Structure 1
Amino acid sequence: MNPEFRQLLSGQICRVHIGYADGRPPEVLFETDELVIEAPNWPLDGERLIVNGDGHLWSLALDAPALAHIPLEGVPALNNDHVLAPDGERIFLSAYDGHIYEAPLDGGRARRITPDREPRRLHFLHGVSPDGEALAYIGIEPDGPQGWGGADVFALSLRDGTDTRLTHGPGPADGSEYAPRSPLIYLNTEAFSDVPGHAQIARMSITGGDLEQLTHDDVVNWFPHLAPDERHAVYLSFPAGTLGHPENADVELKLVANDDWAHPRTVDRFFGGQGTINVNSWAPDSARFAYISYPVL
């Protein structure tokens, strides 16, 4: 275990849950007190989850849950922003050096796909287009005039390397994710409030433009994820007044049915936050989703 990465608190565990779109109670798939695992993805085979932990990538089989290390070469330590390519064979990864990499899903040599820039920009990946030809990421220029507060959505073409800024504030944006079937990007943004940290869920065209606000409440909403059939979505709510998306917070996981964002249903309340659903974790059948809680026993 590498001490430079997030560590479990005394008595804390990671608990991987499977939730259901039809309203059945969530189930616990796996628990560990050995390391912090985060951000489950669900590959096309429907038989395992992909998570990160301790700077590495791991596979978690559903039929006999146990962590199996996915060996990658040529990539620095990983954070919890990783997205599966639509072909089911590759994965796109954000690393602690601020760059995005592409690698075979089952392990192998990775290649960096974001360039060095002036001024320096950090790249936090959140979405890949349904055709696999573009990435949506959050770009932050920590040395620029807005520093870490200047988080905007960018689209990176994997065909020709064209990089396009899609949001221009006000307030930071995050969690940018392509809709599976519609020409839209879903995100969370502070653009609708003057209160620092008060993020709400929104969507916009894949080419940018006006934001459509989807949630209108007093809590802080992050990480919208649509099911492959777009009939359901989940997102994470932090208490009012939360800044960013911290770890170890009392949160609620909410489920939206049939685009009715005004009436979400709370699936679960638990101790979590950072790492719970940073990336899309819907199963290919659109009936299940995965998330992680971090209870202190």
Structure 2
Amino acid sequence: MRSHIHIFDLAADSARTLFTAEAHVEAPNWHPGGDRLLVNADGRIWTLPLDAPALQPVDTGFATACNNDHGPSPDGRTLAISDKTETGKSCIYTLPLAGGAPARLTPDVPSYFHGWAPDGRTIAYCALRDGAFDIFTMPAAGGGETRLTRDLGHCDGPDYTPDGAWIWFNADKPGHAQLYRVPAAGGAPERMTRDARVNWFPHPSPDGRQVLYLSYPPGTEGHPGGLEVELRLMPATGGEPRTLLQLFGGQGTINVPCWAPDSRHFAFASYERDA
């Protein structure tokens, strides 16, 4: 498996390849400091400096079966990860961003981290509860979880708007995955896309103006890898999206928040077909 990590420049309307690996590297986050990325590979979390791109391991203690749902806190001090080493199913932990011992957050599993509130006090995640995947929040310091969705089918990919007022996510209630947003304080979800394509993993830009998301061909089930997909951008208030590029990817391309702090760039992963 050959993986490529790219950076898209909105002003230039083009992408450049930052890093290529003969391994499955996925789910790039942008470090809050702006000088590096965080990625997942081989069950571990790695940093990828922009000026000298090479994978550098993050010490996650016993957690060596991390999936691609991870992300740094807005202040750059804490890393949230999703790992199944301890429980056999995905569980959310936090640890120092520089590395250290994970502290468990979610008593119940499976739970998959996806986003930090802008003030760093709350996380958003999807979790299987009562036979359904729904969207939840929880204090980043630990505590009870708050359920934000019900009866929308499979929900996934929650990510906060920069003002903390809304959480965007995808749900397949209409029969295939579409984008929604829900008030972070709780309330009625609002559907934001209405098309035949299968839309996943919405990420509001840090300036609050746009939402980036992954768009699969009609008829796609779930969020698999190894497909021709599109990265699309739409106004944060809703409206017609535009396709930024087409690529071979899917799972791992933009599972987690991937915008640069300047809102002018974002990171994503693509892959090469097996020969």
TM range (shorter): over 0.9
Instruction: Check the 8 A contact 2:28/2:256 in 1, yes or no.
Output: yes
Quick check: 1:163 aligned with 2:149? no
1:160 deviates by 5.7
Deviation readout 1:190-240 (Å, 9 max, x if unpaired): 12x1x2xx1111111012321111111100000000111112221000011
1:269 corresponds to: 246
Point out where structure 2 has 5 or more consecutive residues left out of the alignment.
none
Point out where structure 1 has 5 or more consecutive residues left out of the alignment.
1-7
Counterpart CA distance in 1 for 2:27 and 2:142 is 29
SS at match of 2:69: strand
SS at match of 1:140: strand
Instruction: Check the 8 A contact 1:74/1:111 in 2, yes or no.
Output: no
SS at match of 2:187: strand
Instruction: Check the 8 A contact 2:44/2:64 in 1, yes or no.
Output: no
Aligned letter for 1:289? F
- Change in 2 beyond 3 A, CA 1:152/1:58: same
Instruction: Check the 8 A contact 2:105/2:142 in 1, yes or no.
Output: no
Q: 2:32 aligns with which of 44, 48, 55?
A: 44
Please give the TM-score of this superposition, normalised by the length of structure 2: 0.93
SS at match of 2:53: coil
Query: After the TM superposition, which residues 198-237 of structure 1 pair with which residues of structure 2 at under 5 Å, given as runs?
Result: 198-237=176-215
1:183 corresponds to: 165
Counterpart CA distance in 1 for 2:170 and 2:222 is 11
Query: After the TM superposition, which residues 1-297 of structure 1 pair with which residues of structure 2 at under 5 Å, given as runs?
Result: 8=1, 13-33=2-22, 35-96=23-84, 97-115=89-107, 117=108, 121-141=109-129, 144=130, 146=131, 150-159=132-141, 161-191=143-173, 193=174, 195=175, 198-257=176-235, 259=236, 261-296=238-273
1:24 deviates by 2.1
Please give the TM-score of this superposition, normalised by the length of structure 1: 0.87
Aligned letter for 1:40? P
Counterpart CA distance in 2 for 1:261 and 1:166 is 21
1:282 deviates by 0.4
Aligned letter for 2:218? A
1:261 deviates by 3.5
Aligned letter for 1:128? W
1:3 corresponds to: none
Counterpart CA distance in 2 for 1:252 and 1:283 is 20
Deviation readout 1:234-292 (Å, 9 max, x if unpaired): 100001111110011110001224x3632212111011000000000000111100000
Between Structure 1 and Structure 2, how many residues are aligned?
A: 270
- Change in 2 beyond 3 A, CA 1:155/1:269: same
Instruction: Check the 8 A contact 2:117/2:164 in 1, yes or no.
Output: no
